[in-house]
Amino acid sequence: MGYEQGQEEVLAVLKTVDDPELPSVSVLDLGMVHKISTDKGRIFITMVPTFAGCPALDFIELNVKKAVEQLNWVEECEVHFSFQHQWSTDAITSRGKEQLKKHGISPPPENYRHGEAWTVDCPFCESDYTSMENVFGPTACRSILYCNSCKNPFEAMKPVVSYTNFIYKGPEVSEEP
């Protein structure tokens, strides 16, 4: 197993592990995977939690570990969450945003700044003539809205702003010496 092929396979697996609160959006597309290090058959993955206090962290950790260990050349996968960087909704990939929309969840606004008014486009008809029905949706990260144009209720993901200047550009991959 070559090093690069191994990294590709780990990334491919991470695309199949979904956030339990946002089915169909992978941990990779959510921008949660910050670092992947490999040392032959041992993989170390550093992730950042999406929403602070997200109760699904243990579950995600276990799912990532189990999925990566399915690769026959992987002996062990260690996953840990780092609180060094803050996750923001800007880390969600365009593929992740498309997946949210397909499931009727309006993706969070881009480059949102704290305190700004938050306008939400309807994921069905793209109209911005929408109104907030309930800021507290089925999970802490979602709100329920109503589209006044196509008359559909829908959910929207709340924007999360990072207070650090860190800009996520995808997972960093490295090989341990």
Binding site for Zn ion (CB under 5 A): 122, 124-125, 127, 147, 149-150
Nearer Cβ to Zn ion, position 44 or 146? 146
CB of 86 to Zn ion, least distance (A): 32
Nearer Cβ to Zn ion, position 116 or 126? 126
Tell me how far apart the 2 most distant CA atoms of the chain are, in Å: 58
Which residues partner with 155 through β-bridges? 105, 144
Question: How far apart, in whole angstroms, are the C-alpha atoms of residue 10 and residue 146?
Answer: 39
CB of 67 to Zn ion, least distance (A): 35
CB of 77 to Zn ion, least distance (A): 42
- Sheet harboring 153-157: ordered strands across? 105-106, 153-157, 142-147, 130-134
Q: Is 11 helix (H, G, I), strand (E, B) or coil?
A: helix
CB of 124 to Zn ion, least distance (A): 4
Nearer Cβ to Zn ion, position 94 or 148? 148
Nearer Cβ to Zn ion, position 39 or 98? 98
Q: Give whole-number Cα distances, 129 to 119, 123, 147, 150, 163, in Å.
A: 9, 12, 6, 9, 30
